[in-house]
Amino acid sequence: MKYDINLIQQINIFEKVTRTNVKECFFFKEKLTFMVEQGMLEKSLGNNKSHLHKLEKMLQNSFKIIEFSDDLQQFIKNLIAPLRVVSIVEEDGIITIKGPDVKTKGLMIGSKAKNLRETEEIVQKYFSNLKEIKIV
């Protein structure tokens, strides 16, 4: 993803308000998503999500903040939150995610598997051994 001047300004505002560094910024499910370093999510949200509310007013749109993790399974959980996951199993580079119900599985997959492919693309940036993600 190429950063334009507007996106760079939004990243700078985010970093000034939250006093945390943005690891990466991208659009996920058509929503601006800021990825922060491991252990920095609470700091970036602020007390009672005060930073989040302040940023939404300043940037004039909603966005998502996720926490990076070195653990593949935790990274996927962070990425697809707030959707619940029953289990994540990794076998030969293929990740199988088990959702609690049909509605949640549908949201994970998305129309024409768009959400699933976006999730795969983002996860593959950080975990190159990933071949495919399946939802069951």
| Residues recorded for the chain | 136
- Per-residue model confidence as pLDDT tens digits over 76-108: 999 998 889 999 998 888 899 998 999 998 999
Domains of the chain: 5-67 (3.30.300.20), 72-135 (3.30.300.20)
Residue 58, pLDDT > 90, answer: no
Rounded (10°) CA dihedral 28, 31, 37, 42 = -130
Question: Contact, 133 vs 119, CB < 8 A?
Answer: yes
Q: What's the predicted TM-score (pTM) here?
A: 0.85
Amino acid at site 93? G
